[in-house]
Amino acid sequence: MKVISENKREFNVEFDKNASSGTIDGNPFNWDVKKIKNNLFHVIKDNKSYNLELLKLNPEEKTVFVKINGLKYKFQLKDKFDDLLHSLGMDNLLVTKVSDLKAPMPGLVLSIDVEVGKEVKKGDALLILEAMKMENVIKSPTDGVIKSIAVKTSQAVEKNQLLLNFE
């Protein structure tokens, strides 16, 4: 499996059957991992101690967000199937296309920060939805172009109601 860090450094990582040892870029390693509680682990590798917290795991995007000794890291995982698709020029099959954005909760649309035809990047603020007296910034789940907007400012929306479409 390939592990790609935020700075695009790529590591080839292989684990043995019980995941207590393996190789990183062909170099053998051993480690001891103890689960402290839900997403908190204590790791000893090369006589060094690490506190590791699993912050988020996104199986669809194959990303892992962790905190190691207080520092946050994001890793992208690639398996042999991903490499095969890449070698065949079929990388587009790895990307799930989002066409609709639905309300994650019932609430009131306070503002709409985009317009039809606007190009947006993943993570851009699209609108603000007030729910339970809290303002929630609804961000773009993908890169794309706004095709249509199905709601208006000051409109009440229900959970899973269509907010906008992407081209």
Supply the pLDDT for residue 9. 86
- Whether the full predicted model's pTM is greater than 0.75, yes or no, is no
Residue 5 per-residue DSSP state = E
In order of their start, the domains of the chain are 2-94 (no CATH), 100-166 (2.40.50.100)
Q: Where are the alpha helices (DSSP H) in the chain?
A: 80-87
Supply the pLDDT for residue 8. 81
Which value, to the nearest 10 degrees, does the dihedral of the CA atoms of residues 77, 81, 84, 86 take?
A: -40
Supply the pLDDT for residue 7. 78
What are the average pLDDT values for consecutive 10-residue runs of the chain, which has 167 residues?
80 85 90 92 93 88 90 87 73 66 94 95 93 91 92 96 94
Supply the pLDDT for residue 81. 77
Q: How far is CA 39 from the centre of its chain?
A: 17
Supply the pLDDT for residue 96. 58
DSSP for 147-160? EEE---TT-EE-TT
Q: What angle do CA 9, 12, 13 make, to 5 degrees?
A: 120
Supply the pLDDT for residue 97. 66
Supply the pLDDT for residue 72. 93
Q: Where are the alpha helices (DSSP H) in 16-79?
A: none
Supply the pLDDT for residue 92. 58
